[in-house]
Structure 1
Amino acid sequence: MKRLIITTFLAAAIVSGCSSTEEVVPDIPPSELYGSAQQALQSGSWVTAIERLEALDSRYPFGAYSEQVQLDLIYAYYKNDDLALGEATIDRFTRLNPTHEKADWVLYMRGLTHMAQDRSFMHDVFDIDRHDRDPEPARQAFRDFKRLLDRYPSSQYAADAKARLVYLKNRLANYELAAADFYIRREAWVAAVNRCQQIQRLYPDTEAARQSLPLMQTAYEKLGLETPAEHAQRLIDLNPV
């Protein structure tokens, strides 16, 4: 039944993608074109907004609206889930405008874009959380938000960035915990210890850090390391799961 649902979903997506046609952007003055792009943004018509903004960007790359067009494209790409294009536009804007007054917002959007890249198909469609999926986008998002707080501690986006760092820290810790559990089930005791130690070192204030302690104790016991196993037991007593 699940296979049928997935197949139907993918087929619908393919048909939808094939049936769309690119609208020809009218050749009108840049002020009018920008105005129509703004209307599309305000109404949430992301595809239309992107078409008009891209036309402005290609037709008038050094025009009066150049910087704002790129900023609007970053937002529109993110809202339309065009994440690769959004990241490329962020990199381009940052390279050309390293001291821009909205540099904190651009860095914040970079973090949001990487967080969106961390979503999995299974989570989006079936609300199934996969802690064991590749966490590289989450790591990048963590670095983005950390850099935002380091460079712009008074930014209006700082509070939200802090909250997202907490989420991302737990996401990354849960990935390491899933890896440690995998190694335990495979009886790869040294690898399990290494993963557990990494959780303790990098994410000591997470739930995953507490949950890793019994795994670490088991691995030490299997390796015949009595003293580390006893130390792990003391930590378990102090931090019950």
Structure 2
Amino acid sequence: MFSSRLSAFAPARFRAGRSLAALAVAVTLLSACASGPTADPTADWSPNRLHAEAMAERDRGNFERAITLFERLEGRAAGTILAQQAQLEKAFAHYRAGEQAQAIATLDRFMRLHPASPALDYALYLKGLVNFQDNLGFLGALASVDLSERDQRAARQSFEAFRELVDRFPESRYTPDAQLRLAHIVNSLAQAEVNVARFYLSRGAYVAAINRAQVALTDFQGVPAAEEALFIKYRAYQALGMNDLAADARRVLTLNFPQSAFLGLGQAPERAASWWRFW
């Protein structure tokens, strides 16, 4: 109380001195903040050091820190091969961090900016891999998730990337693995059509069941799902009273799958463990 009164009646010169002192302290604090945490500690790093530090952070699993460093490297080494490498490494770090959308966006930007890059085959492979893993899901391998029962958009995008890689870069070191994954994706897409056909069959929508089963047979030839697709056609034609077409579907099923469990049953056999588990 007394101190507040004293300040109210203090000489103007004294109050002015206090104001100047407070202003000086504020300026000092602002200067300290500017040189503190907000300053870029990598400002004097060379591009090579930035790259080495970013890779070290990535290898330690510090993906967010690695991404930040790769972004700084991309800007600092703009127009060089090292900047291209930073973009690809950033995409990989996003992928490892579970950030599929960011990884795809980074790869699309890379391919748009560098259509003649010698690393274009790797960019396509990584794009296919990101979507492939997105289709599988983080815990898919542990939770017995059937890929054919998931949203197929990621599978189709993965297929397109791998197919472009195989078509454009047949000698690439990434092509053999891409071909294996392509076969896997084709099986998944075909089985997805069969899943829909089976659903229609169970609901008595026989024409719709026939149409979806035919898509699996026409668009994805030579896949395991063809066995059930033929059986669905046989049962649907039979239900519609179209006996000639039913007999023809059964004949093709017998010819292509002579040991099929469908042949001895009036209905689909119990589904075993996920058909795609050939890894």
Residue in 1 that maps onto 2:149: 132
Residue in 1 that maps onto 2:221: 204
> Per the alignment, do residues 148 and 46 of structure 1 end up closer, same or farther by CA in structure 2, a change over 3 Å counting?
same
User: Tell me, what secondary structure is at the counterpart of 2:188?
Assistant: helix
Residue in 2 that maps onto 1:60: 76
- 2-side partners of 1:175 and 1:25: how far apart? 50
Count residues in correspondence: 218
Give the TM-score taking structure 2 as reference length. 0.72
2:108 to 81, 88, 91: 91
User: Tell me, what secondary structure is at the counterpart of 2:150?
Assistant: coil
Residues 148-201 of structure 1: CA deviation (Å, up to 9, x unaligned): 111011111111011101111111111111111111111111110011111111
User: Tell me, what secondary structure is at the counterpart of 2:149?
Assistant: coil
- 2-side partners of 1:63 and 1:200: how far apart? 49
**Larger radius of gyration, structure 1 or 2?**
2
Contact 1:180 1:196 in 2 (8 A): yes
1:150 to 167, 172, 179: 167
Residues 19-66 of structure 1: CA deviation (Å, up to 9, x unaligned): xxxx98623324232221021233343232112112333x53726432
1:26 to 34, 41, 54: 41
Further displaced range: 122-131 or 195-204: 122-131
> Per the alignment, do residues 167 and 24 of structure 1 end up closer, same or farther by CA in structure 2, a change over 3 Å counting?
farther
Residue in 2 that maps onto 1:172: 189
Alignment of 1:231 with 2:248, yes or no, is yes
Q: Which runs of 5+ in 2 are unaligned?
A: 1-37, 261-279
Amino acid at match of 2:203: R
Percent of paired sites with the same residue: 34
- 2-side partners of 1:155 and 1:142: how far apart? 17
Contact 1:30 1:56 in 2 (8 A): no
Contact 1:184 1:192 in 2 (8 A): yes
2:237 to 220, 229, 233: 220
Q: What displacement does 1:86 show?
A: 0.6
User: Tell me, what secondary structure is at the counterpart of 1:131?
Assistant: helix
Further displaced range: 114-123 or 226-235: 114-123
Give the TM-score taking structure 1 as reference length. 0.83
Alignment of 1:49 with 2:66, yes or no, is yes
- 1-side partners of 2:39 and 2:204: how far apart? 60
Contact 1:25 1:51 in 2 (8 A): no
- 1-side partners of 2:225 and 2:234: how far apart? 15
- 2-side partners of 1:120 and 1:95: how far apart? 28
Structure richer in helix, relative to its length: 1
- 1-side partners of 2:173 and 2:142: how far apart? 33
Contact 1:122 1:129 in 2 (8 A): no
Contact 1:105 1:157 in 2 (8 A): yes
> Per the alignment, do residues 166 and 232 of structure 1 end up closer, same or farther by CA in structure 2, a change over 3 Å counting?
same
